[in-house]
Amino acid sequence: MEVSSQLCIRRWSTRHVAKWLKEEGFCEYVDVLCDKHRLDGVTLLTLTEYDLRSPPLEIKILGDIKRLMLSIRKLQKHHLEFLEELGFSSEASLGSLSPAVSPVQGTDWFCNGEAQRDCDDCEPVIDLSAEQYLYTNGKNKHPPRRLDPEYWKTALSCIYVFIVFGFTSFVMVIVHERVPDMQTYPPLPDIFLDSVPRIPWAFAMTEVCGVILCYIWLLVLLLHRHRSILLRRMCSLMGTVFLLRCITMFVTSLSVPGQHLQCSGKLYGNVWAKLQRAFAIWSGFGMTLTGVHTCGDYMFSGHTVVLTMLNFFVTEYTPRSWNFLHTLSWVLNLFGIFFILAAHEHYSIDVFIAFYITTRLFLYYHTLANTRAYQQSRRARIWFPMFSFFECNVNGTVPNEYCWPFARPTLLKRLIG
């Protein structure tokens, strides 16, 4: 510490910092820290491990990061008064100044963006025993923060989507009654359907792709630390898209896309019979694998909506480095769409509109949620009241953090052996 004894650190220039680095044994970082990024005494004192790990420095050697931070903290310890003048408390100088490496001590947990010391069931995100892991959907690690799961809002979103699915099933019964007669209204011209011969087993493969995607999403949801927020977003988006689908398929009845369907208008007589049929569709998830067969619900494709929504949620809420999972998700999505068309169960326009609406709504929702732009826009709050209600306490991007969903994972380990 010869440099520090000769001159006050607030007067250090980049030359003094370079000399200090050499004294501490970090000669290889003189160029990047002093020459390239011009660190003087003040900036050196406020340097954090997060700064060393993230751009523009991005030091890759873990040992060097730890040793350099130890030296900087010794320096901070000798200049606590100066740090307080800069606006850092003595506690922050040794703990909170380094948000990326203080998971247990010296770090405030954040509940919806507000600092909170005594959060109920707050657990450290990073555990040295490696029982839970932290991933972020990007290159940089972000400081861990606490997000309120707001289970009651998630329960409301689940009720919302169940009601919408029930309403959709009832509308499908009404639409089936109004399906145009195939003799009077033959299938409309369609470039894809006219060019590709029908594959009888293709629609079953579509639903197999959907089931696989659903299982992948359920696994991601189960292990995600913020599973309540993810489920709430899934339910609100899925419910909104299917509510829009109710309107489009009710107002316009398209002719049957293929002669193999043998669809004809069905009259269920009374409201009770219609409700029974709607319940059968709802309980069977509208899938042919469960014995549900419907006609007339063409504009737009519900299977495409489900496939695309599941794909986007899987890829959004898993780390970008999981390339195999993302590729598999997109393959299942695109092959599922192809099989819908290959089975001649929908017109091409049905599938295209379903894909476009689903992707746009997903991207708009997450852009508004991540940037919190709706907070400054009264118009956004008026046009998207449900979105504003569900997202009002979610502060920014939801980090991709994973942990065991069980209270005591050690019990699970004992059972496994």
Q: How far apart are CA 44 and CA 89, in angstroms?
A: 17
Written as one string, the DSSP assignment of 64-121 is HHHHHHHHHHHHHHTTHHHHHHTT--HHHHHTTT-GGG-SSSS--EEETTEEESS-TT
The secondary element (H helix, E strand) that includes residue 402 is: strand 401-402
H or E element: which one contains 133? Answer: strand 133-134
Question: C-alpha dihedral over 368, 373, 376, 382, to 10 degrees?
Answer: -20
How long a stretch of residues is the chain? 417
How far apart are the C-alpha atoms of 92 and 352, rounded to whole Å? 54
Those residues whose C-beta lies under 8 Å from the C-beta of residue 213, and which sit 6 or more positions away, are 307, 310, 311, 314, 329, 332, 333, 336
Torsion of CA 316, 318, 323, 328, to 10 degrees: -70
Helix 14-24 × helix 62-77 angle, to 10° = 120
State both tokens at 234.
Answer: 């899934």
Distance CA 126, CA 128 (A): 7
Before 99, cis peptide (omega within 30)? no
Catalytic residues: 303, 346, 350
Q: Tokens for 395?
A: 């502060």
Phi/psi of residue 114, nearest 5 degrees: -110, 140
* Residue matched to tokens 């250090």: 12
Q: Token pair of 243, please?
A: 């509510």
Closest CA to 126 of 98, 102, 91: 102
Instruction: Output the CA–CA distances (angstroms, integers) from residue 389 to 11, 146, 226, 357, 369, in the order listed.
Output: 51, 19, 18, 22, 11
